[in-house]
Amino acid sequence: MPVSRLTLTDFRSYPETLIEPGPGFVLLSGENGAGKTNMLEAVSLLTPGRGLRGATYSEMARIGGSGGFAVAARVGETDIGTGTLAAAPERRRVRINSAPASVNSLSEWLSVLWLTPAMDRLFMGTPGDRRRFLDRLVLALEPGHAHHAARYEAAMRARNKLLAEPDTADPAWLNALEEAMTEHGSELAEARARTAAALDERLAGAPDDEFARAQIGLQGWDRSDFASTFKANRARDAAAGRAVAGPHRQDLAVSHRTKAMPAARSSTGEQKALLLGLILAHAELVAERRGDPPILLLDEVAAHLDPKRRAALFERLRGRGQVWMTATEGSLFEGISEASRFHVEAGRIQQR
């Protein structure tokens, strides 16, 4: 479902602003540093996690503001609000129709996917970068994924702490933590496997157009021996100060399907095309599975595409739900006829 109203209070560069975008293209133009990406970041906070920048919540509060921030949105018939208070700047609060709710419950209401310039080198980055990207893809299809990820991480942190203090560690508590890691880690790994398989199947059948088709899979950890992993590795994990095996070690393997070449060895342009094609295919999969297309946030994507690819992108996106796009110049959106257009300048936004 699209966002029909978005209100920001003391968020990043915005003291207070309200916009009412339409259901299709939402186009934001303005100079670098004007606050376009800040607007996309606000929309990304309508899902679990720290948004498209992965910033701390205190960084999102406006300098010189109240010390906290608020993002409120109307989605269908539902009012969603999230933000922080000055007294607890890193504690995020969520309200659904004015009632308190958990951060993870946001995934039940809508799915949001994004592509930013910082992601251009995703395939050259760390396994952790790709794992977080994969989890965002999974979350759009399986809202319960955030719950299992949070429980697994919490149990793993507690287990690491116990292993660091072997003389005082409670064996029963250690067993309980490993059982929790096995339970939630199994759900985590299986959900990733389902998403990777479904997306790879869709990519295999995608047309050969202006966006390279990726081939994807999982690597970095074999989930076949899950039950005995943690207990068998206690001594090694204690020495390393961390769990050396488990779903937190998985990696998303991506290659150029036509060239059978790892994405990391492809050209910069090919990597961009592979990533964009992957996002588009996943958006189509989400629309098919959930009955509603996800909200797409595409930051400065048009600026890095030649006119032919831009036209192909706009055609792929037309009629596929709400798509927020930013650019320094409105001319980069040439070819999009129906859209909500906004100009951003120094933390102010005005509809055109």
Compute CA distances 111 → 46, 65, 180, 202, whole Å: 8, 30, 27, 19
Mean pLDDT of 300-317: 86
Domain-located, residue 334: yes
Of the candidate ranges 3-12, 150-159, 229-238, the one whose mean pLDDT is the lowest: 229-238
pLDDT of residue 217: 94
- The pLDDT confidence band at residue 225, using thresholds 50, 70 and 90, is low
Q: In the chain, how many domains are there?
A: 1
Cα atoms in the 13 Å half-sphere on the side-chain side of 131: 15
Shortest CA distance to 15 belongs to which of 53, 63, 85, 84?
Answer: 63
How is residue 233 annotated by DSSP? Answer: T
Residue 209, pLDDT > 80, answer no
Residue 322, pLDDT > 70, answer yes
pLDDT of residue 308: 85
Report the percent of the chain where pLDDT is more than 70.
99
Residue 81, pLDDT > 90, answer yes
Of the candidate ranges 124-128, 179-183, 227-231, 305-309, the one whose mean pLDDT is the lowest: 227-231
Q: Phi, psi (5° rounding) for residue 237? A: -65, -40
Compute CA distances 181 → 58, 160, 177, 226, whole Å: 30, 12, 6, 10
SS3 for 28-90 is EECCCCCCHHHHHHHHHCCCCCCCCCCCCHHHHECCCCCCCEEEEEEECCEEEEEEEECCEEE
Query: In this structure, what CATH number is given to the domain that contains residue 72?
Result: 3.40.50.300
For residues 304 and 276, what is the distance between their CA atoms, to the nearest angstrom? 11
Cβ within 8 Å of residue 169, ≥6 positions away: 162, 163
The whole-model pTM stands at 0.89
For residues 153 and 226, what is the distance between their CA atoms, to the nearest angstrom? 16
- The pLDDT confidence band at residue 210, using thresholds 50, 70 and 90, is confident
Residue 213, pLDDT > 90, answer no
Of the candidate ranges 22-36, 142-156, 212-226, 236-250, the one whose mean pLDDT is the lowest: 212-226
Domain-located, residue 231: no
For residue 300, give its domain range. Answer: 1-110+292-352
Residue 140, pLDDT > 80, answer yes
Domain-located, residue 25: yes
Residue 224, pLDDT > 80, answer no
Residue 223, pLDDT > 80, answer no
* 3-state secondary structure (DSSP) of residue 162: helix
Give the amino acid at 326: T
Q: Tell how strand 214-219 and strand 112-115 pair up.
A: unpaired
Structure tokens at 147: 């719950």
Q: Which carries the bigger pLDDT value, residue 347 or residue 113?
A: 113
Report the percent of the chain where pLDDT is more than 90.
68
Tens digits of per-residue pLDDT, 255-280?
Answer: 999 888 999 998 888 888 889 889 99
CB 39 within 8 A of CB 351: no
Mean pLDDT of 49-73: 94
pLDDT of residue 231: 87
